[in-house]
Amino acid sequence: MAVAGFTTRPEISGHFGVVTSTHWIASAVGMSMLERGGNAFDAAVAAGLVLQVVEPHLNGPGGEMPAILWSAARGRVEVICGQGGAPAGASITRYTDQGLAAIPGDGLLATVVPGAWDGWMLMLRDYGRLPLREVLEPAIHYAEAGHPCLPRVADTIAGLAGFFRTAWPTSYETWLPAGQPPAPRGPLRNPVLAETWRRILAEAEARRGRDAQIEAARDAFYRGFVAETIGDWLARTELPDSEGRMHRGVLGADDMAAYAARIEAPVTADHGDWRLAKCGPWSQGPVLLQSLSLLRGTGLADLDPCGAEFVHRVTEAMKLAYADREVYYADPDVVPVPMEALLSESYAAGRRALIGPQADKALRAGIVPGYEAQVTRMLEALSRLSRTDGAVYEPTMAHLARRRGDTVHLDVIDSEGNMVAATPSGGWLQSSPTIPGLGFCLNSRAQMFWLEEGLPGSLAPGKRPRTTLSPTLALHGDRPAMVFGTPGGDQQDQWQLMFFLYIAEFGMGLQQALDAPLFHSTHFPASFYPRTRSPGQIVVEESYGEAVIADLRGRGHAVRTSPPMTIGRLTAAARDADGLLRAGATPRFMQAYAAGR
């Protein structure tokens, strides 16, 4: 339990700039960009590319990247959507004709168009000021010269050595080049990826001017040699997924060529003096806003933030919000999403009345007028398509499921007041075979689609999957005040909700809130294959204490405990009204770090 006046780490503060991320090397690289005269966006791009190297089990160049930002020059909150859609050939029948009832969680069939590279390049071009070479060279260095291999990366590679050798030989060549997995803290290199980036940089610098070079880098990836290599290899390759089923990929070079990341408006909601901004319903981001709406006016500040009533009340609100996620959220370009109604006070008031003294075991979605048939259809589908065997995948506990991936996160604020939060993911080394000649693999985000017609999340060509990736930007009054986020799949907005409440309702500092106990619900269907759920279950850190845990069980919660400091990987940065910058990082897993001055 967090103790007033004591934190596991100091809260970083200063006026020049702060960078925090899920890996200390990325935080240091981001800070170096600020030292060189770059702004928050330059720092975020450089740190984000380094995260692809130092956390290859959690993200990569073939993944996706949502970001939410405040540009001091533009004076508004904006979202960068670096989330690709399904390939043109990704029809439901193409999958079901192969005998599949669900899209596999790994392998070649699970891929949508990779969006991370274009998202980062869009951020660099439109918001940054440093040249491409300056922000890309650190990632090239760590891929080529090596970096200390995280024990969890070494463990993942060692656990997959046999599978890579027999099923995905290109991954074996990349991650076990001498036939041995990397040693924990030993050097880990990816020279083929370094060469891919060097070639992109060379083609970019054949043009004159910063913007033209960034555009050339986008072209090299999506319309040049990278896309051609991916398309050619997928067209002639058939490989098994982790369950031994042989598949060919669906993604082609034409899908890559048609893609472009884009800038969107955020979805926002108020909580007291705060306004929170999230990505749209192609992410799960609005579920945090719905949870806050349900908790509005319930007297949270009068509760013990580490007590059973707080945990119960927040859990029950999240269950209701996540049930709505399941029946309403989808790519709003393709499916109408009644976001205004879902965030209205009249809707929240009706839902709020459902929060009772005992744990609810039902998946209880709300009814927005005009959507009655959709709600019924989706709930019926979930009863058939999701599993309640209790084998819930918790991405942060990735060491328990070596073939699963997770996510990374970073937050940056500079002296000009620019701020950005980004949650890159996908392209995990364990979820898709490495593409020969490129040194990276593709994402597995298509697993979030359903292979049944007529649902909000049904697979369709060009459609974005409803992802779990969910960075947050908070304004205090009209002032941009804080950026934060975490890896963790379906748990991202649960842990972020608690972090925000610790600050907004209980007045904790950043690091104190990051150190405080965490919990999450696994009541609703997971977004990842095989889409399991555990009705009524919550996972809580043992630091809540035996009395609180017993109280929760007495309220009907199926409680699973986790050792202290093992849930969540939150980072956060803030800018106070007087211009003071602050940042913090969770001590959990001894990996995330904040830097600043």
Q: Per residue in 174-188, pLDDT tens?
A: 999 999 999 999 999
| Average confidence (pLDDT) over 446-459 | 97
pLDDT in tens, 337-367: 999 999 999 999 999 999 999 999 999 999 9
Looking at the fold, whether 274 and 250 belong to one and the same domain comes out as no
Looking at the fold, whether 231 and 325 belong to one and the same domain comes out as no
| Average confidence (pLDDT) over 471-476 | 98
Per the listing, tokens 């503060």 go with 13
Looking at the fold, whether 329 and 477 belong to one and the same domain comes out as yes
The answer for 556, left when phi > 0, alpha when psi is -120 to 50, beta otherwise, is left
Length of the chain as a residue count: 597
pLDDT over threshold 80, residue 507: yes
Given 420, 448, 476, which residue is the final one in a domain?
448
- At residue 570's C-alpha, the angle toward residues 566 and 575, to 5°, is 150
Burial class (CB in 10 A: 0-12, 13-18, 19+), 229: middle
Looking at the fold, whether 213 and 280 belong to one and the same domain comes out as no
Looking at the fold, whether 278 and 148 belong to one and the same domain comes out as no
Contact 107, 432 (CB under 8 A): yes
The amino acid sitting at 322 is Y
How far is Cα 52 from Cα 497, in angstroms, rounded to an integer? 27
- The confidence score (pLDDT) of residue 476 equals 98
What residues make up the domain containing 521? 265-400+468-596
**Tally: H helices and E strands in the chain:** 19, 21
Flag whether 7 is in a domain.
no
Flag whether 500 is in a domain.
yes
How far is Cα 472 from Cα 276, in angstroms, rounded to an integer? 7
Residue 5's pLDDT band, with cuts at 50, 70 and 90, is low
Looking at the fold, whether 206 and 227 belong to one and the same domain comes out as yes
pLDDT over threshold 60, residue 257: yes
Q: What is the CATH number of the domain that holds 375?
A: 1.10.246.130
The amino acid sitting at 493 is D
In 3D space, the residue among 188, 214, 207, 63 whose CA is nearest the CA of residue 134 turns out to be 214
In 3D space, the residue among 55, 50, 60 whose CA is nearest the CA of residue 432 turns out to be 60
Looking at the fold, whether 344 and 363 belong to one and the same domain comes out as yes
Flag whether 362 is in a domain.
yes
Q: Which residues contact 478 (CB under 8 A, 6 or more apart)?
A: none
How far is Cα 51 from Cα 58, in angstroms, rounded to an integer? 9
Looking at the fold, whether 303 and 361 belong to one and the same domain comes out as yes
Q: Which residues pair with 246 in a beta bridge?
A: 240
pLDDT in tens, 83-125: 999 999 999 999 999 999 999 999 999 999 999 999 999 999 9
- The confidence score (pLDDT) of residue 15 equals 98
Looking at the fold, whether 435 and 496 belong to one and the same domain comes out as no
- The confidence score (pLDDT) of residue 389 equals 59
Given 383, 414, 448, which residue is the final one in a domain?
448
Q: Which two tokens stand for residue 235?
A: 């067209």
Flag whether 461 is in a domain.
no
pLDDT in tens, 189-239: 999 999 999 999 999 999 999 999 999 999 999 999 999 999 999 999 999
Flag whether 501 is in a domain.
yes
Q: Considering the entire predicted model, what is its pTM?
A: 0.96
- The confidence score (pLDDT) of residue 293 equals 97
Residue 6's pLDDT band, with cuts at 50, 70 and 90, is confident
Number of domains in the chain: 2
In 3D space, the residue among 117, 54, 57 whose CA is nearest the CA of residue 429 turns out to be 57
In 3D space, the residue among 534, 473, 545 whose CA is nearest the CA of residue 311 turns out to be 545
Omega into 182 within 30° of 0, i.e. cis? no
Of the chain, the percentage scoring pLDDT greater than 70 comes to: 96
Q: Which helix (H) or strand (E) holds 376?
A: helix 372-385
Contact 436, 168 (CB under 8 A): no
Looking at the fold, whether 51 and 188 belong to one and the same domain comes out as yes
| Average confidence (pLDDT) over 560-570 | 95
pLDDT in tens, 410-422: 999 999 999 999 9
Looking at the fold, whether 285 and 223 belong to one and the same domain comes out as no
Per the listing, tokens 């790994």 go with 106
Flag whether 406 is in a domain.
no
Contact 18, 594 (CB under 8 A): yes
Looking at the fold, whether 309 and 251 belong to one and the same domain comes out as no
pLDDT in tens, 380-412: 999 998 877 554 443 433 333 335 568 999 999
Flag whether 72 is in a domain.
no
- The confidence score (pLDDT) of residue 392 equals 42
pLDDT in tens, 49-96: 999 999 999 999 999 999 999 999 999 999 999 999 999 999 999 999
Flag whether 17 is in a domain.
no
Q: Which two tokens stand for residue 186?
A: 């030993």
